[in-house]
Chain A
Amino acid sequence: MTIHDIQGYGMFFLTILLTVLLYWYILYLYRSEKKGERNFEKYGRIALDDSIGTPPVEEKSASEEDRRTKEQN
C-alpha cells in the first residue's frame, strides 16, 4: 500500500462519511422541528432582541439546571 492508495481510500471514505453527516444533519434539522422538539427559527430572534435587558432566548444557567434536575430524577 503506497501513500497514494491511502490517500485515495481516505478521500473516498471520508467524503462518503461527510456527505452522510451533512444529509443526516439536514434531516435532523427539519425532523426535530417537525416533531416539535426544537425550534431553530426562534434563534433568529437572538440578533433582534439583543439589548442587555431582554431575557435570552434560551438562558444558559436555567437550562443547565433543567438538565441537572432531570439527571437527578
Chain B
Amino acid sequence: MQSNAALEYDYTVAKLFTYVTILFGFLGMLVGTILALQLAFPELNYLIGEYGTFSRLRPVHTNTVIFGFTVSGVFATWYYFAQRVLKVSMAESKFLMIMGKAHFWVYFIGALIATITLVFGISAGKEYAQYEWWIDIVIVIIWLMWGVNIFGMIGIRREKVLYVSIWYYLACFLGIAMLYLFNNASIPTYFMTDGLGSINHSVSMYSGTNDALVQWWYGHNAVAFGFTVPIVGMIYYFLPKESGQAIYSYKLSLLSFWGLMFVYLWAGSHHLLWSTVPDWMQTMGSAFSIVLILPSWGSAINMLLTMKGEWNQLAENPLIKFMVIASTFYMLSTIEGPIQAIKSVNAIAHFTDWIPGHVHDGVLGWVVFMTMAALFHMAPRMWKKEIYSKKLMGIQFWMQTTAVVLYFTSMWVAGITQGMMWRAVDEYGNLVYSFIDTVTVLHPYYVIRGISGVLYLAGFILFAYNMYKTITAGRKLTEEPQFRTPMA
C-alpha cells in the first residue's frame, strides 16, 4: 500500500449528513417545543389554521426527530467512522462515492416531501409509521442505498476484523429493514379498484389486534434499532477515540450485543399490557423487559468503565462530559422502561405523561447528547478546524442537562398524578374525578415541560451556532488530533 501514501479519508458525504442532522434536529425540536407549549397554552393551536393543531403537528415532531435527526445522525457518523475503523477511504471507490452522494440527496429530498405530506394529514394512521405507501417505497430505497454503502465498504476493507461499532450499525440496518417492511405492509386502494378515490390512500395488511401486535413489535424495536443499537455503536467508537482509552472489555461489548439482539425483540408487547392481545404475550413482554436490563446495563457499564483511571477528563473535556452523561441517561431510561413494563405499574403508567417522560429522558439525554458529542468530535477532523468555543459548549451542556431533568421530573409527577386520579374512588366505590379534573391538574407540569423544551431548544441552537462558527471561523489545524478534540 505504499502507493497510497497521500490517501486520505473522504468526508464529503459525512459533511452533508452533518448539515441535515443539525437542520432536522432544530426543526424537530422546534415543533416539539411548540407542542409542549400547546398543551400548557391551548390558544397556540391556532397559529396556522388546520395545519397547526397539536394533533397534526405531533407526527411532524416524532417523524422529524426519528427519521430526520436521528437517522441522518446515524448516516453522518457512519460515513465518518466506518472509513476509519475499516481503514479504507471513500475516495478509493468511485461507485461508493457516487452512491453515497445519491443516498444523501434522495434522503434529503424524500425527507422534505414526507414531512410536507404529514402536515397535510396524508397519514396511514399508525404511530411512528404514518407515511403513506409511496413514501414507504422511497424510504426502502434510501435504506437499501445505505446498505450498498455498508456492504461495499466492508467488502473493500483493509482491517480484517469488524470493529464492534460496525456490528451495531449492521444490526441497525438489518433490524430497521425487517421491522419497517413488515409493519408498513399495506394495499393501495386506488389500484385495487378502477382508480377510485385518492392515490395516496392504503389499508393495512393486518387488522385490529394483529395490527396492534405488529405495530408495537415495530414501534418498540424501532426504538431498539434506531435509538439504542446505532447509538451504542456510536459511543463504542467515539468515547474510546475521544478519551484515548480502549473499550474496558471488548468481550463484554460482544456479549451484550448478542444479548440485546435476542432479548429486545420480545419486549414489544409491553406496549399492549391489559389490552386484548393474548395474556401470555403480555407476560412475555413484561418478563423480557426485565431481562433487557442485563444487556443494556452491560453496555452502559462497559462505557463508564472505559473511563476508569481517567475520570479527570470528565472535568477537563466537555465532550467526555456529554458522553458520560449520555450513558448515565441510558442507564436511567433502561431501568425505567422495565419498571413501567411491570403489569401493575403499567396499569397506572400507561396512557399517562409518564410515558412521554420516559421516552424523552432516553432521547434527549441519550440519543441527542451522544449525537451532538459525535458531531463535535467529527467537526475538527472533517473541516480541520478547532472547535470554536469550549465555553459555549459548557453552557450548552448545563442548559440541556437542566432541561432533561425538568422534563422527566415534571412528567413523572404528572403521569403518576393522572394515573392515580383516574382510578381514585370514594368510600362507596364511585369515581372521584371526572376526566377533565385530571387534565386541568396537569397545567403546572405542562408549563414546566414547556420551559424545559425552550431551554433544550436554546441549547441546541447554541450547538448549531458553535458548529457553524467552527466550520467558518475556527482556527486552522495543521494535523489531525489523535484523541482529544481541540477547542478554543
Contacts and interface: CB of A to CB of B under 8 A. Distances in A.
A and B touch in their complex, CB below 8 angstroms: yes
29 contacts: A22-B258, A22-B259, A26-B255, A29-B251, A29-B254, A30-B251, A40-B250, A44-B240, A44-B246, A46-B159, A47-B85, A47-B165, A47-B236, A47-B240, A47-B241, A47-B246, A48-B241, A48-B244, A48-B246, A48-B483, A50-B87, A51-B482, A52-B7, A56-B158, A56-B160, A59-B160, A60-B158, A60-B160, A61-B158
Interface residues of A, number: 26
B201 interface: no
B279 interface: no
Given A47-B85, A47-B236, A48-B240, 20 more contacts: A26-B255, A29-B251, A29-B255, A33-B251, A44-B247, A46-B163, A47-B237, A47-B246, A50-B81, A50-B87, A50-B241, A51-B84, A52-B8, A52-B89, A56-B159, A57-B159, A57-B160, A58-B159, A60-B159, A63-B160
Interface in B1-32: 4-5, 7-9
Interface in B210-263: 236-237, 240-241, 244, 246-247, 249-251, 254-255, 258-259, 262
Interface of B: 4-5, 7-9, 81, 84-85, 87, 89, 157-161, 163-165, 236-237, 240-241, 244, 246-247, 249-251, 254-255, 258-259, 262, 480, 482-483
A56 B88 CA distance: 10
A56 B457 CA distance: 41
B240 A41 contact: no
Chain A interface, DSSP helix/strand/loop, else mixed: helix
Nearest to B89: A52
A46 B5 CA distance: 20
Given A30-B251, A48-B240, A52-B7, A41 B246 contact: yes
Nearest to B87: A56
Interface string A43-73: 1111110111100111111010000000000
A58 to B, nearest CB: 4
Q: Which 4 A-B pairs have the closest CB atoms?
A: A44-B246, A50-B84, A56-B159, A58-B160
A58 B255 contact: no
A46 B258 contact: no
Contacts of B258: 22, 25
Contacts of A46: 85, 159, 161, 163
A43 B157 contact: no
A18 interface: yes
Most buried by B among A25, A47, A50: A47
Contacts of A57: 159-161
Contacts of B482: 51
Interface string A16-35: 00100010011001100100
A41 B160 contact: no
B264 to A, nearest CB: 14
